[in-house]
Amino acid sequence: MKKSLMWLLVMILAVSMIATFSLIGCKEKEAAPEEEVVTPPPTEEVGEEVEEVEEVAPSTEVLVYHYYTAGDEKAAMDAVIALFEETYPDITVIENPVAGSEAMVSILETQFYAGEPPDVFISADLIRTADWVRAGLILPVDDVWEELGLNDALNPNLASMPALTYEDIHYGIPELTAYESGIIFNKHIFDNVGIDPTSLTTVDALMDACATIKAAGYTPFAMGSQWLWALKFPFVDAVLLKGGVDKYKAFYTGEITADDPAIREALEFFANTAEYTNSDHTAFDWDGACELVVSDQAAMYVHGSWAGGWLKTMGFEWEVDMGIIPFPGLGDYFVMDGNLWSVPRFCEHPDAAKKFIQVAGSVEALSLELVPRDSTIAWRTDIPATGLGPITTDILEIQANASTPVPSAQCIEGTDVAFVNGVQGILQTLLIDGDVDAAVNSLVELRNTVFGEEGE
Amino acid sequence: MDRKTKFFIFLFLLPAIVGLGLYAYYFSGWNLSISMTNARSLIFPAKFIGLGNYWRFLVDPVFITVVKNTAIFTVLFMGGALLLGLLFAILIDQGIKGERLYKVIILIPMAMPMVISGVLWSWMFSPRMGVINSLLRVLHLDFLTQPWITSTSQALLCVIIAYIWVFSGFVALLYLANIRSLPDEQSESARVDGASKFQLYWRVIVPQLRPATVMAVAVLFLNSLVAFDLVWPLTRGGPASSSELLGTFMYKQTFQWNFFGYGAAIAQIMFIISVVVMVPYLYRSIRRR
C-alpha cells in the first residue's frame, strides 16, 4: 500500500512538473514578441484599446520600476507614491528600485523579450526607450497627455526629446530634467585659495584656478568613474567648447569621426584635465566623488546638477558651502537630460499604470518631488515658483540666460547606446594613459563598428 | 529489469531531463543561433551573418587583452587556490582543537554571494578609504600603500586575490576529505621509518591527492572561465580594460553596448573552451569507474 502511494505521489509530481514546463513554454510563446516588430496602431485604435483595457482589467496593484534608491531622489519618489496611494487607495504600488538607470534598462530589455515587463518604468536612457516605442512595445499615452494639459505646459526646449512622441503619438509622460553643463564648486576651498568662482568665465581662467587649487593641496576636479557614464559630462563640455552644438551632435550620431580637429582638440583638453582630477576615480561612483567635495578634498565637480541635491543631502548648504556656475565658455548652452515615465504595452495592469503616470506627471506630484530634489527642474513650465528650492531657482536662471538647449549625449536623436557607452570606456582609458592618438583611433573604430555595417 | 521498473526509472528522470533540455540544451542552441546574427536587440529582427561575430572577436583590439587577462587569471587563481587550499587542509589535518570551527571559517567566503564578496573586497582595496591602505597608514607604513584596484597594473591581481579567498576553503575541504580517506597504515609506516612531518606530507600524502586535485582543477577552471559576479563590483573589468575577462567583456558587449549577437558569440567561445577542458575530464572519470 505504502509503495503504491509513493508511486502515485511520484507520478503526480512528475506530471505537475511537465505541466508547469509546458505552461511556461506556452506563456513565452504567447507573450514574447519573437523577432517580429509590432507596429504601433493608429491613434483611433489606441483609444479603443485603452477603453477596452479599462473595462476588462480592473487593477489592484501597479508594479513600478525606477532608479531612485537613495537620498533626495528616494524622498521624492516616496512623496509621489504617497500622493498616488492617497488618490487611489484601492491600488497598491509595488516598487522595484534598481540601482542605476543603465542596470535597469538592461533588465527591462530582457523583460520585454520575455513579454513580462513591469506596469510602469521611468527612464533616462531615452534612445533605448525610443527603440522600444518604435518596436511597438510602449503604450500610447495621448489620453493622459491631454488630461495633464502637456500640450500647453511642456517646456518647448524638451519637446523633441526621443521617446516622447513618435509619429505624432505621445508615448511618455515627462518627469524631471537636470542641468548637465555646469560646475558645482566647494565654496570653502575657493575662499581658501582666494578665487571667486564666478570669475571663471574663460577656460584659461579655469585652468589657472586649477593650478592654484592644486598648489594649495586640493584636488581641483572630483571624479568617480566606476560607472563610466560620469565621464560623459566633462567630455561633452569639452566637445561643445571646441566644436559647438553641430559638431557635438555630428560626433554622437556618427556623421563625423574623432579625426575631426574639433573632436581631437576636445580629447586633448579632456586628457589635460587628468592632472587636476583625483587619480583614484575608478574606485568609486559619482556619489563617491560628491564625498570628495563635501569633505573639502575636491574643489569642483563637473556633473549633472542632481549632484547638488546629493551634496545638500550630505549637509552642504547652497550658497554657504557650494554653488554652481556654467562651464566656462558654455554660458549660452543648457545641456539637459530627461526622465520619462512609460507604460509597456504587455504590462499586467495598464489601467493602474496610466493612473500612476497621470498622478506622477501632475503639477502636484512634481511640486512635491522638487522639494527634496532641489537641483532638478520639471519638464513642465507651470510649476509654481514659490515652492522651489534655491538650487532649482539658480538653475532656472541659468536656463533663462542660455540661448541654446542641448540634449544630453544619450538623448540625441540618431545616436546609439553602444556608441555613447563605448565613448565613455575610451574616455576612461584616455584619462588614465593620456594617449590622445590611441583614443582617436579607438573612437574611429567604434564609430565604424556602430554606425557602419554592424550598426545598420 | 522489467518494463515497469524501467518505466518508473524513466518517470523519475523525466523532470530532470525536461529541465536540463530546456534550460541547458535549448538555450545553448538558441544562443548559438543568436551568435550567428547581427542582433542589436532582443526585440528587433536580426540578419544572419554566419561566423562574422566570431571573426570580429578575433580581430577585436581588446581580444589580446581579454585572452591574456583570462589566461593570467586562470593560472594564478588556480595555482593560488590549490596551494592555499592544500595548506589549510594540512593545517586542519593536524588534529587541532576546534577543527569544525576552522572548517566553517574557511568555507564562509564560498557561502557568501559573490557580489557581496566583490563589494567587500572593493572596500578592502579602495586606495583612499580602503581597509588595507588605512591599516597601513595606522601602522605608519604609508610607503607600502598601493593604488590597488585603481591601478592598471594591480587591478587584475586584486581580482585574483579575491577569487583565491573565495575558493581556497572549498579546495581545502576537497583535499582534507582526500587526506582523511587515505589508509592510516601508510602514515604509520612512514613515521616508523623516521619520516619527518614535512617528508610525510611531501612524499607520502601529497602524491596521493591526485583525485582531489583533478576535481579541484576542473571546478576552478570552469569558475575562472565564467568569472564575472565578483569582478563586476570590484573593478568592472577596468581600469581601462586592465582586469577585463571573457565574462565581463561578454556582459559589456551584450547588455551595455547592445551587441547581442557579438555577446552570444563570446559566450559560445567560452562554452567551447569549457567543453574542450571538461570532456576529457569526464571521459577519464567515467572510464575509471
Are B18 and A17 an interchain contact pair (Cβ–Cβ within 8 Å)?
yes
Give the model's pLDDT for residue A41: 39
Chain A residue with the nearest C-alpha to that of B22:
A21
Does A272 touch chain B if contact means CB atoms closer than 8 Å?
Answer: no
The verdict on A414 and A386 lying in the same domain is: no
B95-111, pLDDT tens digit by residue? 888 888 988 898 899 89
Please determine, for residue B207, whether its predicted confidence score (pLDDT) is greater than 60: yes
C-beta atoms of B8 and A7 within 8 A = yes
pLDDT in tens, A300-312: 999 999 999 999 9
Q: How confident is the model at residue A37 (pLDDT cuts 50, 70, 90)?
A: very low
Q: Indicate if A137 and A225 belong to the same structural domain.
A: no
Contacts of A432 in chain B (CB under 8 A): 152, 239-240
Q: How do residues A222-240 score in pLDDT, each as one tens digit?
A: 999 988 999 999 999 999 9
A216 part of a folded domain: yes
Residue A378 confidence (pLDDT) above 60: yes
Is residue A293 predicted with pLDDT exceeding 90? Answer: yes
Task: Between B225 and A7, name the one with better pLDDT.
Answer: B225
Residue A1 lies in a domain: no
Which residues on B lie below 8 Å from A18 (Cβ)?
14-15, 18
The answer to which of A25-39, A415-429, B249-263 has the lowest mean pLDDT is A25-39
Q: Do residues A90 and A112 both lie within one domain?
A: yes
pLDDT digits (tens, 9 = 90+) for A412-437: 988 998 999 999 999 999 999 999 99
Same domain membership, residue A213 and residue A98? no
Q: What is the pLDDT of residue A21?
A: 45
CA distance B87 to chain A (A): 32
pLDDT band at A244 (very low <50, low <70, confident <90, very high): very high
Query: CATH: 1.10.3720.10, 3.40.50.10300, 3.50.50.60, 3.40.50.980. Which one for B62-288?
Result: 1.10.3720.10
Residues A130 and A261 in one domain: no
**pLDDT tens-digit readout, A320-333:** 999 999 999 999 99
Q: Which residue has the higher pLDDT, A105 or B124?
A: B124
Number of domains in chain A: 2
Confidence band, pLDDT 50/70/90 cuts, at residue A212: very high
Q: What is the pLDDT of residues A245-275, one digit of tens each?
A: 999 999 999 999 999 999 999 999 999 999 9
Please name the residue of chain A whose CA is at the shortest distance from the CA of residue B127: A280
Give the rounded percent of residues in chain A with a pLDDT score beyond 70: 86
pLDDT, tens digit (0-9, with 9 covering 90-100), for A340-353: 999 999 899 999 99
Residue A72 has pLDDT above 90, yes or no: no
Q: What CA–CA distance (Å, rounded) separates A422 from A419?
A: 5
Examine the domain organization and report whether A329 and A359 are in the same domain.
Answer: no
Q: How far is B26 from chain A (nearest CA, A)?
A: 12
Q: Domain with A103 in it: what CATH number?
A: 3.40.190.10
Give the pLDDT confidence score for residue A176 in this predicted structure. 93
Q: How far is B224 from chain A (nearest CA, A)?
A: 23
User: What is the share, in percent, of chain A residues with pLDDT greater than 90?
Assistant: 68
pLDDT at A146: 94
From chain A, pick out residues whose CB is under 8 angstroms from the CB of B231: none
Q: Flag if B40 and A418 touch (Cβ within 8 Å).
A: yes
Lowest mean pLDDT among A218-232, A326-340, A398-412, A442-456: A442-456
Q: What confidence tier does A32 reach under pLDDT thresholds 50, 70, 90?
A: very low
- Confirm whether A6 is domain-assigned: no
Is the peptide bond preceding residue B239 cis, with omega within 30 degrees of 0? Answer: yes
Give chain A as a 3 state SS string: CHHHHHHHHHHHHHHHHHHHHHHHHHHHHHHCCCCCCCCCCCHHHHHHHHHHHHHHCCCCEEEEEECCCCHHHHHHHHHHHHHHHHHCCCCEEEEEECCCHHHHHHHHHHHHHHCCCCCEEEECCHHHHHHHHHCCCECCCHHHHHHHCHHHHECHHHCCCCCCEECCEECCEECEEEECCEEEEEHHHHHHHCCCHHHCCCHHHHHHHHHHHHHCCCEEEECCCCCHHHHHHHHHHHHHHHHHHHHHHHHHCCCCCCCCHHHHHHHHHHHHHHHHECCCHHHCCHHHHHHHHHCCCEEEEEECCHHHHHHHHCCCCECCCEEEEECCCCCCEEEECCCEEECECCCCCHHHHHHHHHHHCCHHHHHHHHCCCECEEECECCCCHHHCCHHHHHHHHHHHHCCEEEECHHHCCCCCHHHHHHHHHHHHHHHHHCCHHHHHHHHHHHHHHHHCCCCC
- Determine contact: B103 vs chain A, CB below 8 A: no
Q: Does some domain include residue A27?
A: no
For residue B130, the chain A residues in CB contact (below 8 A) are 283
Which of A280, A284, A449 to probe the B interface (max B CBs under 10 A)?
A280
A302 within domain boundaries? yes
> Closest Cα of chain B to A418: distance in Å?
4
pLDDT at A17 over 80: no
Of A6-15, A388-397, A401-410, B232-241, the one with minimum mean pLDDT is A6-15
Verify that A210 and A140 share a domain, yes or no.
no
Query: How close, in Å, is residue B181 to chain A by CA atoms?
Result: 36
Overall average pLDDT of the B264-286 stretch: 87
- pLDDT of the residue at A3: 58
Instruction: Kindly state whether residues A155 and A191 are assigned to the same domain.
Output: no
Residue A53 has pLDDT above 60, yes or no: no
Q: What is the mean pLDDT of chain B?
A: 91
**Chain B partners within 8 Å of A36 (Cβ):** 45
Q: Is B57 on the interface with A (CB under 8 A)?
A: no
For A155-207, the pLDDT digits (tens) are 888 888 888 899 999 999 999 999 999 999 999 999 999 999 999 999 999 99
Which chain B residues in 219-258 lie under 8 Å from chain A, judged by CB atoms? 235-236, 238-241, 252, 255-258
Interface pTM (ipTM) of the complex? 0.82
What pLDDT sits at residue A11? 55
Domain hosting residue A254, numbered range? 182-336+408-451
> Which residues in A lie closer than 8 A to residue B43 (C-beta atoms)?
33, 35, 37, 109, 112-113, 131-132, 135, 137
- Is the model's pLDDT at B116 over the cut of 50? yes
* Residue A34 domain flag: no
Query: A342 and A134 in contact (C-beta within 8 Å)?
Result: no
Question: What is the average per-residue pLDDT within A264-293?
Answer: 94
Q: Which of the residue ranges A137-141, A250-254, B225-229, B282-286 would you say has the lowest mean pLDDT?
A: B282-286
Compute the mean pLDDT over every residue in chain A, rounded to the nearest whole number: 86
Cβ distance of A421 and B256 shorter than 8 Å: yes
Shared-domain flag, residues A55 and A202: no
Position A111 in a domain:
yes
Which of B42, B45, B61 minimises the CB distance to A109? B42
- Asked if residue A151 is part of any domain, the answer here is yes
Band (A59; pLDDT cuts 50, 70, 90):
low
Query: pLDDT category, A42, cuts 50, 70, 90?
Result: very low
Say how many C-beta atoms besides its own lie within 10 A of residue B76's C-beta.
18
pLDDT tens sequence across A88-127: 999 999 999 998 787 888 889 889 888 899 999 999 888 8
Q: Are residues A220 and A311 in the same domain?
A: yes
Q: Which residue among B44, B46, B127 sits closest to A283, beta carbon to beta carbon?
A: B127
For residues B118-140, average pLDDT: 93
Same domain, A49 and A116: yes
CB neighbours (10 Å) of residue A91? Answer: 19
